Amino acid sequence: MLLVVAAFIVAFVLLLYMISPLISPKPLKLNGAHVVVTGGSSGIGKCIAMECYKHGAFITLVARDEHKLVQAKKEVEKCAINDKQVVLCISVDVSKDYNQVESVIKQAQEKLGPVDMLVNCAGMSISGKFEEVEVDRFKKLMEVNYLGSVYPTRAVVTTMKERRMGRIMFVSSQAGQIGLFGYTAYSPSKFALRGLAEALQMEMKPYNIYVTVAYPPDTDTPGFAEENKTKPLETRLISETSGVCQPEQVAKVVVKDAIVTMGLFRTIALFYLGSFDSIVRRCMIQREQSKAADKRE
């Protein structure tokens, strides 16, 4: 029986590999393209910008912290393949005011031309048990992780539709495919991106605009390090089952076109649910036993 299941999985993976060229859009030529990366001052966003720059793209980095943007600009410029390439930095909070976001995107297009590809990478994570997470944190994560992708996307789609070309990428998370212990505030904000992407793709495809979604696992970024400071035990143990990726590795996959393997990632992720549930139950039993022991004392 196990051999049959294993054979089915292998056949499924091979099928995805064979049909991916048929269902995927023609790769966007990055040489000379204008790529906007939100959340581009650090982590995955910065590495995506660097990867695109290595292919000859013109880059607009968007983030809140001006100092980090300047440092990121220097790092990206080291990846240049010709002396015509330009890195533009824009400091703005993409989750607050749509009109402001639209204004800075227009400025970027005036300087570097129409946006060929938008990478929505701005985001943040908060972990904690549902009843212990401050209520305003739920709102904050939806603003940053969801609206922080809606606003830049709205700002570029009109021009993309007029040009009948473009690529929009959303960087979600494995926690945006499977709801996990400790992520009751974070997971929904990342799940929302999948719904947005799937609905938007249906609207954009007739205009030769393609929407892709990346679901990276835990990645060694400043945000991940900050999140680890407050992770519940169950969440930390679940994270340890999959290891930590490097942002450079994730960036290469995202730029290559993450949507090709979206179905495969979802299938693999489902296999982990059983073990994750076991971890949560085991921690709960240990906690109850500890409380019972304290009462006896």
Whole-angstrom distance, CA of residue 185 vs CA of residue 206: 35
34 DSSP β-pair partners? 58
DSSP 8-state symbol, 212:
E
The stretches of 54-97 forming alpha helices (DSSP H) are: 66-77
The two tokens of residue 103 are: 């204004």
Are 221 and 244 in contact by the 8 Å Cβ rule? The answer is no
Catalytic residue check, 186: yes
Of the candidates 172, 173, 187, 239, the residue annotated as catalytic is: 172
Which three-class secondary structure state does DSSP give residue 23? helix
| Residue 173 among the catalytic residues | no
Integer-rounded Cα radius of gyration of the chain? 21
Instruction: Specify whether 73 is catalytic.
Output: no
Q: What is residue 213's three-state secondary structure?
A: strand
Which of the following is catalytic: 95, 183, 190, 215? 190
3-state DSSP call for residue 122?
A: coil
* Residue type at position 46: K
Q: Pairing state of beta strands 87-91 and 117-120? A: unpaired
What is the set of active-site residues?
172, 186, 190
